Amino acid sequence: MEEGATHAVAPSYLGWSIFNTLCCCLPLGIPAIIFSCKAQNANTLGESAIAEGASRTAKTLNILGTVFGIIIIIVWITATFIYVGMGRDERRKYIKIVTKGVCYNKSTSFNLIVKIVCGLF
């Protein structure tokens, strides 16, 4: 590199990647961290093309992870409100429908856990 010449520094998105891994979407957050570190290392070495590619990939993974995380949170909250809003008899019917395809013995711990969680005692 020539004296006084500078190279463009690609953003690494490492903070966003860590946030995604911990709060939104673990399967997409881990590769995002890897590409963020790759972008940071390439920036340090002055390899702009590699840094740009890794940065772009990290950004894409972070966007996808954030969107999937928000969708999962919305579905989870909606399902919780629907389930909590059900009466006790409706919950029993729901559990029968959900567990109908599951083969289990009535004395198994699965049945006990379902009863405890749903308040069916």
Q: Hey, what long-range contacts does 52-59 have (CB within 8 A, 24 or more apart)?
A: 52/8, 52/10, 54/10, 55/10, 55/11, 55/12, 55/13, 58/12, 58/13, 58/17, 58/32, 59/11, 59/13
Task: Give the 3-state secondary structure of residue 9.
Answer: coil
Question: What CA–CA distance (Å, rounded) separates 83 from 98?
Answer: 13
Do 77 and 48 share a domain, yes or no?
A: yes
Domain count, the chain: 2
Do 56 and 17 share a domain, yes or no?
A: yes
Specify the pTM.
0.68
Residue numbers of the domain that contains 79: 1-85
Do 13 and 70 share a domain, yes or no?
A: yes
Strand blocks (E) in 5-80: none
Do 17 and 76 share a domain, yes or no?
A: yes
Question: What CA–CA distance (Å, rounded) separates 120 from 112?
Answer: 10
> How far is residue 58 from each of residues 22, 33, 47, 66, 70, measured CA to CA in Å?
16, 7, 16, 12, 18
Do 91 and 79 share a domain, yes or no?
A: no
Question: What CA–CA distance (Å, rounded) separates 27 from 97?
Answer: 30
pLDDT at 121: 46
Do 30 and 68 share a domain, yes or no?
A: yes
Question: What CA–CA distance (Å, rounded) separates 34 from 55?
Answer: 10
Do 9 and 50 share a domain, yes or no?
A: yes
Do 71 and 23 share a domain, yes or no?
A: yes
Q: pLDDT of the chain along its 121 residues, tens only?
A: 445 456 679 999 999 999 999 998 899 999 999 999 999 999 999 999 999 999 999 999 999 999 999 999 998 888 787 777 767 777 677 666 666 655 444 555 556 666 666 655 4
